[in-house]
Structure 1
Amino acid sequence: MLYTLITPFTINEEIKKSRFIVNAAPINSAEQAVDFIAHVSDINATHNCWAWKLSHQYRFSDDGEPTSTAGRPILAAIEGQSCDNVVIVVTRYFGGIKLGTGGLMRAYGGSASHCLQQAPLTAIILRQSYRVSCLYNEWPILENKLKDIQAIIEEQTFDAEGISLFIAITDDKFQELNKFIANLTRGREQLFIKPQQ
């Protein structure tokens, strides 16, 4: 199971007189990650190293530290803590003692891991979006079923015929709901996967 942060979270660590400030946040898009990085990075710091992961997409930056000593260890920390939809920025203020390649990797990866270990996390529930329609007299029955299976109503529109919905459900509820809709509408309706935009 994968997890993400409930809210943004920050910790501070000191490693051999260098100060590391770790800012982490949940994200739903690459744009959110970029905005968060810009928001928490300190131009007066020695380095603002970061990584983010969003399903199969990921990016990282060493921001002037030796190659693969900062961004990649931060990304490894995200994956190592079974997290996704997360961005982490580790801001370093140099304290005068060089850490060496191994020391940098441990400092950046370790501080990112410590942040995620202390942050309030929640499980990521994967859902698929579907389109379905029903008549007005069928809606109260369908609405109750959607509540029972914890479906998320993403969008609904009303017209002369009835109601059209976009809903999101977990994969294990698909067969049950599709059969329910077929019975309710006497075979007139079924779930259709929402087209990608």
Structure 2
Amino acid sequence: MNVRPYLIPNEPVIFEEEIKKSLFITYLAHTPSSDAAKAFVEQIKQKHPDARHNCWGFVAGRPEDSMLWGFSDDGEPSGTAGKPILAQLSGSGVGEITAVVTRYYGGIRLGTGGLVKAYGGGVQQALKLLQTIEKKITTNLHLSLDYGLVPLAQSIIKQFDGTEVDAQYGSNVELDVELEVLHVEDFTQTIINRSGAKIIVTDLNNI
């Protein structure tokens, strides 16, 4: 499992341009799964039912995970729309993103080279407008400890940018903490060392 953070879209982007009387409208959106990507494509198709083509490409997971890529020429000549769209997305280093390019035909043929340039270029321009945020890969840890060790645990959670998501106070204190996967090993080692192994740490994702 790759635990390094990666960039995802922060908000949708729309970019329009006219090329030889054809109108190209490029939509970019954050889609965290293949199903979300396909739903977004359908949404744009319903928005432009009278458009000649709604071509698309998506990267539905980490930017480098080609198992989660998809594309369609939607009636354009093979290789002239979906592939150039996907090439721009996969080269952008942004994950969980879908691009749909809607084309209203203007009566002038662009030729295969012109189509590749139009579809790829629209996505390239839209990507320049895209604002991204970093997606951290997190896991949930469970801490079991005595009341006297709570201040120590909380200071170590803060040190590793963890978030306390739940706390149960019974005969013992039970804390659930969300933490970036990258830090789990160091966090666990630090907790064990500084509490003299009195704080028990369990990774809830590995139970």
Task: Give the structure 1 partner of residue 84 of structure 2.
Answer: 73
- Is 2:28 aligned against 1:24? yes
Match of 1:181 in 2: 191
Amino acid across the alignment from 2:42? A
Distance 1:136 1:11 in 2: 57
**Does 2:46 match 1:43?**
no
Gaps of 5+ in 2: none
Alpha-carbon separation, structure 1, partners of 2:194 and 2:36? 41
Are the aligned partners of 1:81 and 1:117 in contact in 2 as well (CA < 8 Å)?
Answer: no
Cα separation, partners in 2 of 1:86 and 1:139, compared to 1, 3 Å: farther
1:13 aligns with 2:11: no
CA distance in 2, matches of 1:100, 1:75: 20
- Taking a change above 3 Å as real, the CA distance of residues 9 and 158 of structure 1, as seen in their structure-2 partners, is same
1:103–1:193 distance in 2 versus 1, CA, 3 Å: farther
| Distance (whole Å) between structure 2 residues aligned to residue 136 and residue 86 of structure 1 | 45
Find the partner of 1:148 among 159, 163, 179.
159
* 1:135/1:102 CA distance change after superposition, 3 Å: same
Give the distance between the partners of 2:26 and 2:123, measured in 1 at CA. Answer: 6
Residue matched to 1:133: 143
26 and 139 in structure 1: CA distance in 2 versus 1, 3 angstrom threshold: farther
In the alignment, the residues of structure 1 paired with residue 161 and residue 185 of structure 2 have an alpha-carbon distance, to the nearest angstrom, of 15
- 2:58 is aligned to 52
- Secondary structure of the structure 2 residue equivalent to 1:82: coil
Q: 1:178 to 1:84 in 2, by over 3 A?
A: same
Higher helix share: 2
SS at 1:158 equivalent:
strand
Once the 2 structures are TM-superposed, how far is the Cα of residue 145 of structure 1 from its aligned partner?
A: 2.5
Of 158, 162, 180 in structure 1, the residue corresponding to residue 168 of structure 2 is 158
For residues 97-154 of structure 1, what are the alpha-carbon distances to aligned partners after superposition, in whole Å with 9 as ceiling and x for unaligned? Answer: 11111111111111011101112122344x241422223623443233223322345x
Count of aligned positions:
193
> Sequence identity, in percent?
30
- Could you tell me whether the CA contact under 8 Å between 1:178 and 1:191 is conserved in 2? no
Relative to the length of structure 2, the TM-score reads 0.81
- What runs of 5+ residues in structure 1 fail to find an aligned partner? none
Query: 22-31 or 182-191, which moves further after superposition?
Result: 182-191
